[in-house]
């Protein structure tokens, strides 16, 4: 029996890359959910005591300036701030999960969400890099920059493809497309 010939899918690589981006965004969403849960876990607790215990666990001297700033911050944390932080974290994670779904399913709106959300975070990441170069900050910056540039590439390539398809459409199809726009 003869096997059916299958056409090579020109968008297969694009779908694979979009799913890789979706996985990256999903991981960011999971991390933020965990941070929100940590904020909720600290409600009605002595945050300063937990901060001091964390510094001891990490063998960081509490006499250091950065440790004092951390302890002062922990001392000023209120339950209302923890609840607000958790709400923000869960909202941000919801955006990431919606974006993940859209990218996984190849939705155009999700490409725009990924471009805008990533683009809005780049200035904050640059500011963090200016405060000090670390491996984590650098990796996050490079990863998010890669996502933004790739989304820009995908959006432009898909736009060009739609323009070419419209230009190559037969005159009755073009007229039908223009009538539906009006």
pLDDT score at 164: 86
Could you give the dihedral angle defined by the CA atoms of residues 165, 167, 170 and 174, in that order, rounded to the nearest 10 degrees? 100
Whether the CB-CB separation of 52 and 70 falls below 8 Å is answered with no
> E strands along 56-112, which residues?
none
Give domain status of residue 69, yes or no: no
Whether the CB-CB separation of 137 and 128 falls below 8 Å is answered with yes
Give domain status of residue 48, yes or no: no
pLDDT score at 163: 86
Give domain status of residue 123, yes or no: yes
Token representation of residue 149: 């540039």
The whole-angstrom separation of Cα 17 and Cα 19 is 5
Give domain status of residue 177, yes or no: no
Judge whether residue 178 has pLDDT over 70.
no
Looking at the structure of the chain, the number of domains it has is: 1
Give domain status of residue 91, yes or no: yes
Q: What is the pTM of this model?
A: 0.75
The model's pLDDT over 5-45, given as tens digits with 9 standing for 90+, comes to 566 666 788 889 999 999 999 999 999 999 999 999 999 99
Give domain status of residue 38, yes or no: yes
Give domain status of residue 119, yes or no: yes
- H-run or E-run covering 136: helix 135-168
Show the domain range for 122.
15-42+77-167
Q: What mean pLDDT comes out for the span 157-165? A: 86
Give domain status of residue 161, yes or no: yes
């Amino acid at each position: 029996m003869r096997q059916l010939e299958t056409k090579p899918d020109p968008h297969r690589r694009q779908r694979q890359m979009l799913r890789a981006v979706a996985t990256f965004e999903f991981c960011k969403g999971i991390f933020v959910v965990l941070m929100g849960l940590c904020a909720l876990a600290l409600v009605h607790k002595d945050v300063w005591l937990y901060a001091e215990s964390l510094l001891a666990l990490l063998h960081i001297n509490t006499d250091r300036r950065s440790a004092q700033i951390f302890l002062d911050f922990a001392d000023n944390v209120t339950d209302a701030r923890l609840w607000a932080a958790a709400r923000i974290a869960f909202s941000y994670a919801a955006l990431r999960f919606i974006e993940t779904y859209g990218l996984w399913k190849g939705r155009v709106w999700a490409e725009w969400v990924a471009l805008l959300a990533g683009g809005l975070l780049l200035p904050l990441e640059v500011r963090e890099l200016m405060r000090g170069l670390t491996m984590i900050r650098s990796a996050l910056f490079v990863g998010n920059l890669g996502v933004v540039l790739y989304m820009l590439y995908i959006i432009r390539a898909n736009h060009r493809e739609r323009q070419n398809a419209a230009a190559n459409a037969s005159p009755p199809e073009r007229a039908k497309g223009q009538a539906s726009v009006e």
